[in-house]
Amino acid sequence: MPWPPLPLTLLKGALLSPFKRPGTGRSDAPGLRARARAAPGRVEPYRRVCGFAPTGDTVPLPYPHVLAFPLTTRLLAARAFPLPLLGLVHTSIEVVQHRAPRLTDELDLTAYVAGLAPHHRGTQATLAVAAAVGGAVVWESRSTYLARHRTGTTAAPRRSRGDEPPLPARAEWRLAADLGRRYAAVSGDRNPIHLHPLTARPFGFPRAIAHGMWTFARCLAEYGPAGTEPVRVTAEFRAPVPLPSTVTYGCQGQDFELRDSTGRPHLRGRVEPLAGR
């Protein structure tokens, strides 16, 4: 049976959101599978929006996340998934690239809910994605999403974040007001908080905010060498990036970050070669 169109899935998730009661119980949302190929006609616009240079026959490191986006969205919108789709905040990502997927690869994608856990601000869900070629996993990720709600638990206490000294500045980027709409066009992620101030305000944002996965991708494009190597890349999304705005990219060794004009961190990440490679 074919999947319903993604806009209908998003609408379903939005309509179900008011009826969901966040908790830390088990999710019965099943794992989902699909096949996808990274067609050059879709990859090239993604490279341009995110600042990646052409890399031969391979795709940028974050791109399989885009291919898997319809699957992860269907999981988050499923009736059995206990957290409301509206208001979910992407808080972190870990990507393990065993080898860079090629444009000619047909990827077998699997997405599933890896767990739910209490958080000091609500409930956090972990979603896992694996991309395989010929039965061998070449790329995998784990993302955390936070549903904010009142909670009496003291689990997952707030860590001290943002008090690290800034990394050496390497670049300054002026982000246009339409960046969210341009990234949405190449990624399929049309969450209203990223599109326009009018659609972001009902969710508590005076302006549209950049997609976390755009900031992640743009930092990796600037970092450079992580593109095709076997690596593990981790990042925390620490504060929204309002649009328009000016941000500073910093990097030292394996660490990278994005900060605003006051020095507040938006994102902090690390690139580590896979052991034994």
DSSP string, 29-90: PPPEEEEEE--HHHHHHHHHHHTPPP-TTB--TTHHHHHHHHHHHHHHHSTT--S-STT-EE
Using alpha carbons, select from 265, 224, 223 the residue that is nearest to residue 248.
265
pLDDT classification of 156: cutoffs 50, 70, 90: very low
pLDDT tens-digit series, residues 205-263:
999 999 999 999 999 999 986 566 799 999 999 999 999 999 999 999 999 999 999 99
Global pTM value: 0.89
pLDDT tens-digit series, residues 45-58:
999 999 998 877 89
Per-residue model confidence (pLDDT) at position 47: 95
Using DSSP's 3-state secondary structure scheme, residue 230 falls into coil
Calculate the CA 51 to chain-centre distance.
17
Asked if 110 contacts 67 with a C-beta cutoff of 8 angstroms, the reply is: no
Amino acid identity for residue 208 in this structure: A
Region 138-146: mean pLDDT is 95
Q: What region, left, alpha or beta, does residue 261 occupy, with left being phi > 0 and alpha being psi -120 to 50 degrees? A: alpha
